[in-house]
Amino acid sequence: MSTQESGAELVENVSVVDREAFGEAVWPSGYSGPPRVVECRHCHTKNRVEVPKAVLFPEHHDCGSCGKKLFLDSDEPLKALSSKAYLHSLDRKSLMALDSIPGVPELTRYLLSRVGDRGTRLLLMSSAVKCGPDQFPELVRLMDRARMRLDVPYRPEVFLGESPNMNAVSIGFNDPIVMVHSALLDQLGDEEMIAVLGHELGHLHPSHHVYHALGNLLLMGGAAAAGVAGIVALPLRMALLQWQRASELTADRAALLACRDLRTCIRLMLKFAGGNRPGTRARTSIQLAPFIRQARELASQEASSWVDGALAAWLTLNRSHPFVAWRVMHLIQWVERGRYLDILAGHYPRRVVTGITSRPPAQQRVPSQGSRGAQSRP
């Protein structure tokens, strides 16, 4: 055996140990749920799999009948994946609540046509760095890997913006843009970056575009500029924020489908919560297990005490993003009980593919004239 082979085996063994330790952190008392039945996409045989093993080691699962891989490889595209496949139920319900507020679709059309995201786009063009073949192509390649895995046919323009805060922003209705804060590059590895970019791609579907645009216009004072401040009622703002929080849970699922590693996604959330700065790295090695315990503790605290539950709900009222610990729990619940494993096995709603598309499916939800605009944070 060559030294090189031994090295590769060592890396593989370390990865297996890491993943097993991570599994013990996610399911400290063992997984109590039933096994899942996963249909082989090649021969349609139904295979029974243990959820933790399938989530942690999808590549180790072959069909019991034809012997082919049960789950897609990490770089295999989820062909024609529809965003319906990973839409969070809270996202769908909050959207229905928004739609039911009289005048909201009309107001959205009006705001987008009057204001749109032209200001934000101008700001990016004038103060951030546009990436492409001759400017930070490495970042564009990471975006390409994320969209290849999610099978997003169009490539958003990628901008790099200087900022000490870890963040990414998606903007644009007809011409999507993703702006990456430079702090992300200091603190994240490539797979974590792919998760962030996958999250942003998860926002690039019609509903998110329209209502993120509306939310941001209201928050940025665009409504006042358009002369409609008086009709923007508090309930609308609250409904929008509630939906925005739910939409983040949808985008988190897209992040997981882009990186296909729960460990990477939770580590990413840990870094968003506590940072991954040199001062921290020089003093300690931040651990995933206590962070997951913290998230579980929060969930059980809220579930067992109505005071804590009400307080938590009140604390989030004015936030556009859910608490990180909640996002961790929602993601774990999705891999345990949701469609994650089915999607990885190739079973998911597909969008209608009509040919090569360079644009997002914008304006399908709320047709408008010259409308633009969407913004989100990971």
Which residues sit at the interface with Zn ion, rule CB under 5 A?
40, 42-43, 45, 63, 65-66, 248, 251, 376, 378
Residue whose C-alpha is closest to residue 208's, from 245, 179, 181 = 245
Tokens encoding 65: 């009948």
* Residue 39, strand partner residues: 46
We find the least distance from the C-beta atom of residue 255 to Zn ion, in angstroms, to be 9
Q: Residue 23 in contact with residue 56, Cβ under 8 Å?
A: yes
Query: What is the nearest approach in angstroms of Zn ion to the Cβ of residue 280?
Result: 24
The number of C-alpha atoms within 13 Å of 136 and in the hemisphere containing its C-beta is 17
C-beta of residue 220 within 8 angstroms of C-beta of residue 237: no
The distance of closest approach from Cβ of residue 356 to Zn ion in the complex, given in angstroms and rounded to an integer, is: 27
Q: Which is nearer to Zn ion, 128 or 254 (CB)?
A: 254
For residues 48 and 64, the answer to whether their CB atoms sit within 8 Å is no
CB nearer to Zn ion: pick between 195 and 299? 195
8 A C-beta contact, residue 289 and residue 255: no
Q: How far is the CB of 289 from Zn ion (least distance, A)?
A: 26
Closer to Zn ion by CB, 26 or 345: give it.
345
Q: What is the distance between the alpha carbons of residues 54 and 335, in angstroms, rounded to a whole number? A: 10
* Closest distance to Zn ion from the beta carbon of 64 (Å): 8
Q: Which helix (H) or strand (E) holds 173?
A: none
Question: Which lies closer to Zn ion via its Cβ, residue 64 or residue 164?
Answer: 64
- Comparing CB distances to Zn ion, the nearer of 42 and 155 is 42
Q: Strands 157-161, 46-49: parallel, antiparallel or unpaired by DSSP?
A: unpaired
Structure tokens at 198: 């996958």
Tell the smallest beta-carbon distance from residue 56 to Zn ion (Å).
21
Q: Which is nearer to Zn ion, 54 or 63 (CB)?
A: 63
Give the tokens for residue 342: 């089915």
Question: Whose CA is closest to 61, among 78, 80, 84, 42?
Answer: 42
* Closest distance of CB 49 from Zn ion, Å: 13
Do 41 and 71 contact (CB within 8 A), yes or no? no
Of the two residues 25 and 266, which places its CB atom closer to Zn ion in the complex?
266
Nearest to 370, CA basis, from 177, 113, 109: 113
